Amino acid sequence: MNYFQAIILAVIEGLTEFLPVSSTGHMIIGSSFMGIASDPFVKLFTVAIQLGAILSVVVLYFKRFFKSINFYVKLVVAFIPAAVFGLLLSKKIDELLESPMAVGISLLVGGIILLFVDKWFDKPTINEEEEINYLTALKIGFFQCIAMIPGVSRSGATIIGGMTQKLSRKVAAEFSFFLAVPTMFAATAKKLLDFYQDGHTITQEQTNLLIVGNVVAFIVALLAIKSFIGYLNKHGFKMFGWYRIVAGLIIIILLMTGHNLEII
C-alpha cells in the first residue's frame, strides 16, 4: 500500500462510515480495484481508519458524551452483542472481508430494504436520546451484529434497528453514531491484537500510513455527518436504497462475467 491508496481508502471511509451504504463494503471494493485487498496490513488499515472517522462523532457531539452516566451505560448495553458475536465469529468475518461478491449481494439486498424503510416505520414515538431504555439499546445492539457481514452497513443496520423500536430517524442516526465509538475502538484493538498474534509487525512506514488514513477519514467524516443528518431528516432513505441496488448489481455482474475488480 502506498500513500495514494491509503488516502483513497480513507476518503471512502470518511464519506461512507455514517451513510447506510457500508463503509467496509466500499473499502473492500476499493482495495480490490487497487489489487491490495488480500494484504494483511490492508485488512488492518480498513478497520483501524474507521477509528478516525468515529472520533469525528466525539468532536461534533462533545457535550453529549459528558451528559450522564446513563448515556454510557446504554452504549455499553448496546455494544455487548457485537462484542460477543465479534469474538465468536472473528475468523468467519475475516474470510468475508476478502469477498467482493458478499459485498455485492449485501448492497443489493440492503438497498431493496431501504426503499421501504420510511413507510414501514413512519410513526416514531421516541424523539430524544434520553427516552431510550436499556432493553431498546440492547435490541439495537443485536441489529448492529448484522453488519458483521460486509456490505450490510453498520450505521444502516443500527439506524433501522432504532426505527423498529420507534426512534425517530434523527435519534436513531445519532444513537448509531454514538454506538460506533465503543464498537470501533474494540474492533481496532481486536484487529491489532490479531495482526500481532499472526506474526506481523507494523513498520514505521505503515504507522505513517495509519496516521494519514485516520486524519483524512476524520476530516472527511466531519463534513459527512452533518450533511447526512440534514438529508435524512428531509428525504429519508430511498436515494441510498437506489444507490445500493445499482452498486450491488454492478459488482455482481462484473464478478459473474469474470472480472476480478483489480485495475491498479
- Give the span between the Cα atoms of 171 and 188, in whole angstroms: 26
pLDDT at 94: 66
**20 against 67, higher pLDDT:** 20
Q: Is the pLDDT of residue 165 over 80?
A: yes
Q: Is the pLDDT of residue 46 over 80?
A: yes
Tens-digit pLDDT profile for residues 208-218:
999 999 999 99
**231 against 182, higher pLDDT:** 182
Tens-digit pLDDT profile for residues 49-94:
988 988 888 888 887 777 778 888 999 999 999 989 887 877 777 6
- Give the span between the Cα atoms of 134 and 264, in whole angstroms: 47
Q: Is the pLDDT of residue 233 over 80?
A: no
Contact of 155 with 20, CB cutoff 8 Å: yes
> Where exactly are the structural domains of the chain?
3-256
This prediction has a pTM of 0.81
The DSSP 8-state label assigned to residue 66 in this structure reads G
pLDDT at 264: 42
Strand partners, 167: 126
Tens-digit pLDDT profile for residues 186-199:
888 888 888 888 88
* Nearest alpha-carbon partner for 4 in 212, 239, 181: 212
Strand partners, 126: 167
Q: Is the pLDDT of residue 262 over 70?
A: no
Contact of 163 with 124, CB cutoff 8 Å: yes
> Across all residues in the chain, what is the average pLDDT?
86
Sign (positive or negative) of CA dihedral 13, 95, 175, 71: negative
